[in-house]
Amino acid sequence: MNHNLFESFARRMTERKEHDFIVTPEGRNYTYGEALEVTAQLAGALIELGVKPGDRVAVQVDKSPEAILLYLACLQMGGVYLPLNTGYTAGEIGYFLGNAEPTLFVCQPDALEVAREVARETACPNVETLGTDSTGSLMVRARESAACNGVADRARNDLAAILYTSGTTGRSKGAMLTHHNLESNSRTLAEVWRFTEQDRLIHALPIFHTHGLFVACNVILMAGASMLFLPRFDVDTVIEAFREGTTLMGVPTFYTRLLQDDRLSPELTSNMRLFTSGSAPLTAETHQEFYRRTGHAILERYGMTETNMNTSNPYDGERIAGTVGLPLPGVEIRITDPDTHTPLPRGEIGMLEVRGPNVFRGYWRMPEKTREELLDDGFFVTGDLALQDEKEYIHIVGRDKDLVISGGFNVYPKEVEQVIDEMDGVLESAVIGVPHPDFGEGVTAVVVPETGASLDEAGVLDALKGRLAKYKQPKRVFFVESLPRNTMGKVQKNQLRETYRVIYQDA
Ligand code: AMP
C-alpha cells in the first residue's frame, strides 16, 4: 500500500474537482480540478529538475496559491518539502541549505541573485523562482513539463516535510515529519473540529509554519473544503471575509486585534461556525471578551512543529478559557518530573510529554538532540510545563526555559502574568527571569499599559502584595508600548531577557 499523504488528498481532490479549493480576494482562484492539474505539472517540473523521492525541496516564497500547489507537487513526486520563513536573511538561508542539502531551492523572483550566491556556496544544484501571481521560472517550467501522472510510493515513515523550529536558543533544528504524522493528524483534526465540504476557512496565517501549512491546508484538503487565501492578517479584510467564511484559524494576536474593532458583533460573525486559536497562549480574558462580543467560544488547541497538534478543547463539550483542552484521539499525554520522566500526581506542574502517530521522527542530522528529546518509550519531551486538572484538561504554564528560579523557588511566569493582567489599566504583560546577584534570577515584569492608563512601578508592585507569595512578586516592573513577538504571535522572551540582562547587576 502506498502511504503517500498525497494519495488521500488526490482522492478527495478528484471527488471535488468542480468545487473551489483556494480563492483569493483578487479572484486568483483554483478549483480542486485545476489544482490537481497544476500540481501534476509542478511535480513534472521537479522531476525534470532532478528531484528524486526523498530529496529536499527548500522553498522561501511569499504566500500564494501556487506555493501550496508546490507543496502538493512535492508530496506527489515523493520529495521532502522544506518551507522557510520569508523573514530569513541570506546568512540564515545558507545554514538551512548547508544543513538540509536540498536538490532545489525555490525563492522569490526578486531574491534570485542572492539565492544563486547562497546556493553556489552550499552546493545546492538548482535555483528556481516562484512569484505571487503565478509567475517565476518554476511556473514556466511547469507549463512546459510533462505532467506527473502517478503518486510516488512512500512508506508510512518516509519523510513528507522538514520544518525548522524557530530556534530561540541555539541553532534551528529540522523536525522530520513523516507522511503518517501529517496524515493521521489532519484526519483527526478534520473530524474533531467537524470540517465538511461546506466549510470555507479564512486563511490569514503564514504558510511556512505548521499552523498555516499543515493544520490549515491539510485539514481543508482532508475535508474537501475551501479556503479564502489572504496574504496576511488584516482586520478590515478579515472582517469583510466573515460574510462568506465559516471558520478562522488564528493566533491570539488575531483575536486581540479583532477585539479592538467596534464592528465585531454577533451579527458580523453569524456565518462563522468555528474560531480556533493556537501557537501561543490565548489569555482567559481574550477568550471571555470574544465570547461576550460575538457569542463564539474560541476553541484553543496546542501543538508544535515536532508533534503537530496534541490537544484541543472539545467541539461540543466545554471550551474552557485558559486551557488547551484534552488530548486528541490517539495522542497520549503525560506530565512528568523533568529529571526522571516519572509521571507526577494529577494537578502537579511538570514537563508535558507526548506520544502518538503525530510525533515526528527526530531532528534532521542531529541524533544526539533527538535522543535527548525523543525517549526510548516513544514519548517526546516538549519543553512545555503544564498540569492536567481534575477534568483532564491541560493547562500550559510556559516553556521550561522560561521558568524563573528565584532564591531556589520555581516561579511560573504565567501565574504572575495572570495576576498582573487582571489589574486595571494593564493590557498585557510578560514575566521573565533576569540574573540577580542574591537570588540567582530576579522575577521581572514587563507591562504594556492600556491606552491612556497611568501606571507606575510602585503602584503595580504594591497591588501585587498580598496577591502573590513574596518570592513570586516581581522585583522590578518595566513599561513598554508593546511586547516583542514573532510572526506567530509568540512573545520573544529571550529578547526581553537580553534587554533587561544587567538591571540587577548593582543590586
Ligand atoms: P511551534 O513549534 O513554533 O509551533 O511552537 C510550539 C510551541 O508554541 C509549543 O511548544 C508551546 O510552547 C507554544 N504553544 C502552541 N500552542 C499553544 C497554546 N495554545 N498555548 C500555549 N502555548 C502554545
| CATH number, position 234 | 3.40.50.12780
Residue nearest to atom 4 of ligand 1 (CA): 304
336 within 8 A of 343, measured Cβ to Cβ: yes
User: Is residue 118 domain-resident?
Assistant: yes
User: Is residue 184 domain-resident?
Assistant: no
Is residue 226 domain-shared with residue 143, that is, in the same domain?
Answer: no
- Taking the CA of residue 166 as reference, the ligand 1 atom at the shortest distance is 3
User: Is residue 506 domain-resident?
Assistant: no
Asked whether residue 347 carries a pLDDT value surpassing 90, the answer given is yes
User: What is the bridge-based pairing of β-strands 274-277 and 299-304?
Assistant: parallel
Please calculate the CA angle 137-138-144 and round it to the nearest 5 degrees: 95
Q: What is the mean pLDDT of the segment spanning 166-187?
A: 88
Calculate how far, in angstroms, residue 20's C-alpha sits from the geometric centre of ligand 1: 31
Closest CA to 22 of 214, 229, 197: 229
- Cα(421)–Cα(426) distance, integer angstroms: 6
Closest CA to 65 of 187, 236, 205, 228: 228
Pocket test for ligand 1, best of 302, 319, 354, 494 (most atoms within 8 A of CB): 302
154 within 8 A of 4, measured Cβ to Cβ: yes
pLDDT digits (tens, 9 = 90+) for 17-60: 999 999 999 999 999 999 999 999 999 999 999 999 999 999 99
Is the CB of residue 406 below 6 angstroms from any atom belonging to ligand 1?
A: no
Is the CB of residue 168 below 6 angstroms from any atom belonging to ligand 1?
A: no
Is residue 465 domain-shared with residue 368, that is, in the same domain?
Answer: no
User: Is residue 193 domain-resident?
Assistant: no
Cell 477568550 belongs to 287
Structure confidence at residue 2 as a pLDDT band (50, 70, 90): very high
Is residue 45 domain-shared with residue 109, that is, in the same domain?
Answer: yes
Calculate how far, in angstroms, residue 302's C-alpha sits from the geometric centre of ligand 1: 6
**Which pTM was predicted?**
0.93
- Which DSSP state fits 470? G
Calculate how far, in angstroms, residue 309's C-alpha sits from the geometric centre of ligand 1: 10
User: Is residue 161 domain-resident?
Assistant: no
pLDDT digits (tens, 9 = 90+) for 377-432: 999 999 999 999 999 999 999 899 999 999 888 999 999 999 999 999 999 999 99
Closest CA to 484 of 253, 173, 247: 253
The dihedral over CA atoms of 210, 215, 217, 218, expressed in degrees to the nearest 10, equals 110
Calculate how far, in angstroms, residue 488's C-alpha sits from the geometric centre of ligand 1: 9
Percent over 90 (pLDDT), the chain: 93
Is residue 394 domain-shared with residue 451, that is, in the same domain?
Answer: no
Domain count of the fold of the chain: 3
pLDDT digits (tens, 9 = 90+) for 287-320: 999 999 999 999 999 999 999 999 999 999 999 9
User: Is residue 170 domain-resident?
Assistant: no
- Taking the CA of residue 399 as reference, the ligand 1 atom at the shortest distance is 12
Single-letter amino acid code for the residue at 296: H
Residue nearest to atom 20 of ligand 1 (CA): 281
The CATH number linked to 100 is 3.40.50.980
5 within 8 A of 155, measured Cβ to Cβ: no
Return phi, psi of residue 134, to 5°: 70, 20
- Which DSSP state fits 53? T
Asked whether residue 151 carries a pLDDT value surpassing 80, the answer given is yes
The CATH number linked to 455 is 3.30.300.30
Four-residue CA torsion sign, 486, 488, 490, 493: negative
Is residue 312 domain-shared with residue 443, that is, in the same domain?
Answer: no
Closest CA to 58 of 172, 163, 176, 205: 163
Asked whether residue 169 carries a pLDDT value surpassing 60, the answer given is no
Is the CB of residue 166 below 6 angstroms from any atom belonging to ligand 1?
A: yes
User: Is residue 160 domain-resident?
Assistant: no
Is residue 240 domain-shared with residue 275, that is, in the same domain?
Answer: yes
Is residue 357 domain-shared with residue 444, that is, in the same domain?
Answer: no
User: What is the bridge-based pairing of β-strands 274-277 and 247-250?
Assistant: parallel
- Taking the CA of residue 175 as reference, the ligand 1 atom at the shortest distance is 2
- Cα(237)–Cα(402) distance, integer angstroms: 35
Calculate how far, in angstroms, residue 125's C-alpha sits from the geometric centre of ligand 1: 35
Q: Which domain holds residue 472?
A: 404-499
